[in-house]
Each structure stands twice: as C-alpha cells, then as structure tokens.
Amino acid sequence: MHISFLEISTKLPKASPLLFLIGEDKKFPQALMALDKKAGGIMARAIADSKFAGKKKQFLSVPGIQGCGHISLIGIGKPADFKKLDALNLGGMLVDKINVLGVKTATLVLDLPKTGNINLIETATKIGFGAQLKSYRFNKYHTKQKAENKPTFESFTIAMKGAKNAIAAYKHFNSLAEGIYLARNLITEPANVLYPKAFANECKKLAKLGIKIKVLGEAEMKKLGMNSLLGVGQGSVRESQLVVMQWSGISSKIKGQKIEPLAFVGKGVCFDTGGISIKPASGMGMMKRDMAGAAAVTGLLYSLAKRKAKINVVGVIGLVENMPDGDAIRPGDILHSMSGQTIEVLNTDAEGRLVLADALWYAQTNFKPRLVIDLATLTGAIVTALGTSRAGLFSNDDKLANQIFEAGKKSGEEVWRLPLAEVYDKQINSEIADVQNLGSDSEAGSIVAAQFLQRFIKPGTPWAHLDIAGMAWSKKELDTCPKGATAYGIQLLDKLISEYYERK
C-alpha cells in the first residue's frame, strides 16, 4: 500500500471516501462541521439515526454527500485516552473497512481535538504505519482468486497540517514496514522453496543496502567446531548454513573509543520434523515457521540499513533442516559444540537450542558485542505459560531486560520476563556430558531451555533470550496483521535500538 501525506488547506481534498475521526463526545472536527453544514446536516442526522457513539473501532459510512461523495466516521473513544498504539491499530482497522467499500483510494482528514495525549505527527504516522502493516498479503501461489476476495485498497492519503514533517517522520516507519514484509514473506514461504541455502541467498540480497554478508557452509562450520548446529542438520539433504549480516551505521571508533556492535541471533530451522524424536503429523506443515527468529533478525537488519540507522549491528542466523534420515542424530548422542562444551542429546526435537548454542558462541567470539539478544520459536511451553499476547523474556541483565520490557510496551510487541535460577539450571546437568538438551523434569520447559542457552553466554556479556513461539504466527486476524506470519520482534527491537542505543 502507498501511504502519503497531504497538507490540508481551507478546502477539503476532492476525494472519496473522506474519513474523519470522532470521539465519544461526538464533537465534529472543524472541517467536518463545515462540510456537514453545506450538506444540510446529513452527517449529524446519520449519527442520530444510528448506533454510532464514537467508541473505539466503530465505523459509520454515509454515501452520496453532495460535493464529496462518500463520508466515513471512525470512532476513537475518549479523546483524552487516545494513545499511539490506538492510532496504530486504527490504521489497521481502516484497511479492512475500506476494502469492504471496494475502493482503491481513501483520504483521512486528520483534524483532531487538542488533548495532552494526541500529537498530530505521531498520530498520523502511526495510522499510516498500521494501515501499511495490515495491507500485507501473500498471494504468490494463488493461481485463481475470486474478485470479491481481492483487496482493492491501494493508496491511503492522510490530509493534515504539517504534512511535510509527517513525510519526513514516516521514512522510518516505511523502512520498518518493508523489513516486516520481508520477514513475513520468509516465514510464509514453504520449506521446499525456502530451505537453508535459499534463505542464505535471500540474505545476500541485503548487500545492496550496504549490509556486509558472510555465509558459512558446512565445511567452514566443521573447521570451527560448530558440531551442535551441524548435528541438527545432518539428517537433511539440504546443507546447513550460518549467515552473518553486519550493518555499520557509525564509525567503529569515536573519540578513540571502540564502539562494540549489538548482536542479534536468530533460530532458523527452515523445517522441523522433530528428527528421530518425530513430531505428530497433525500440524507439522506449520513447522516451516520454525525459522521466524532468523526471519526477524533479517528483517531488522534490512530496516536498520534502509533507514541508515546510526548504530552498528550484527545479525547471526543458523539455518538448518531437522530431518529423520539414516544420518540424523539420535537420542543419546553426544555433540561437541563450538564453545568446547559437550552436549548430550536427549530429544532431537529440542533442536533450536542446539542451533543457537553455536550461533551465540560465534557471535560473541567474533564480534565481542556490547549485548546479545536471541529470538527463537523455542518452546511450546511458552505458549502454555503466556498464550499469544506476549513473548517470553529471559535475561542475565536487569537493565537490558527492563529496556526490552519498556520497548515492548511502546511498540505493542510485548514481553513478559520469566526467571533464571540455579534450581532450573541443575536440571540440564548431564551424567555423561557437560550439559543435556532437555530438563530432567517435565516442568518449566521454557525456563530450562533458556538455562541451556545461558550456558553458551560468556561471563560479563549482557544477554536476553526471546521465546517467540506464541507470537510468530497468528491463527486469527490481528489489528495490524492478517492471519499468518507476524514478523514479531522487529518493531520491538527497532524501538529498543532507537530509544536506548542509536546515536542521535
């Protein structure tokens, strides 16, 4: 969808439909008041004759207004309670409503009441961003589609005062939306199309944005001792890959002081059968999305480079397929990780942590980052614990954890922190190796998985783990996302970077 901003003058734009925001006080914006007066009070009568009360997500459409065709009113609730995330979600809602009208273009006249909570530029850009996110579609493999199922809404204009400032501010959001689109595409692709090498090839395309790309194949990883990651992929005919993406938005040294990058590490299991510990057939097709963490890291790097973010960032993603052929690892096997630690494999379906163990160690060893954050669809237990409204957050650093929590609230991609403690860590002590990949009890599965990852974090490195298993894919329509891949984590981490780490 194309998002544009138009400087509003004394005259309303000649467009149809025109959209206006109305609060529960039902006070008309000045522009709508003038229009309604010319039209003989038709909008006021339409409200009086309907159930429209200006509440959030209410929508009233009135066709046939003389001079401008179609007018639609959108409820925002109490204006004093209207927040940035309300604007974001409202933008997404508008896409659905306008598609029902069957038109290609629409114009929102943003003439808002003056309250302490409403900033015109922020509201305009958030509405546009929400609309752009919700308009995402993945129709690549539809050869026949009924006309009534095709979205018509293609171009959204926001008419307002200060449009020039909104245009400048929206560049950030447009870059973010493009990165989210990229990640959603990657997650949605079937595994016969997006296998490890194909994913790596998609990453190589980011070089055109100034991102330095390095791809390690199995021979190179073998030399580095990355046998934990390689063990997961050894049952597949598809070669495993490690992709390293570097964005350098500032000098590596400022005033003689070395600037260490932020490191983001993603689990990229392009298809997960469970291996020898095979999953049930029901729902296995959705295991193509087990690379959502790697997709989020890729989309984040794209967004940062596209907007030329003043930050140095490295993204490391481990790409494998977990398949159960005659070469696959077995329960009871011992793997030698890059860190030197040995791992007893108790369950081959606890494979994501094996991939991350080597990817995390590689990122720390080669880049000595100031912090490390990993994203992974790691455990079903996190969905049981938190459902599909928050990701699980684990961290060895309170400052970093608090920053991520606040960034989650501001971006709408929320997290909830769970504990790390010795009582959980001792569950992964193996009798014949340094660590085992499954807890000795069947309890606290998400925490035990995070404890496993912490074994591969070097002392003194601030680290956070985001278990996004419940957030990477939505089975229902969301305010700013159709059913399917969400690209969860990109907005969260972009907010974290821009709020706390990016040079202004």
Tell me which residues are annotated as active site: 279, 353
Q: Given the structure tokens 């490690």, which residue do they identify?
A: 242
Q: Peptide bond before 462: cis, by omega within 30 degrees of 0?
A: no
Distance of CA 276 to the CA centre of its chain: 31
Q: How many CA atoms lie within 13 A of 87 on its CB side?
A: 23
DSSP assignments along 452-483, one per residue: HHHTTS-TT--EEEEE-TTTSEESS-BTTB-S
Encode burial over 40-50: b for 16+ CB neighbours within 10 A, e otherwise. Answer: eebbbebbeee
What's at 75, amino acid-wise? G
Which string of DSSP letters, residue by residue, matches 300-352?
HHHHHHHTT-SSEEEEEEEEEEE--STTS--TT-EEE-TTS-EEE-S-TT--H
Could you tell me if 374 and 362 are in contact, meaning their C-beta atoms sit under 8 angstroms apart?
A: no
Task: State the residue for tokens 């791992």.
Answer: 343
State how far the Cα of 118 lies from the Cα of 194, in Å rounded to an integer: 43
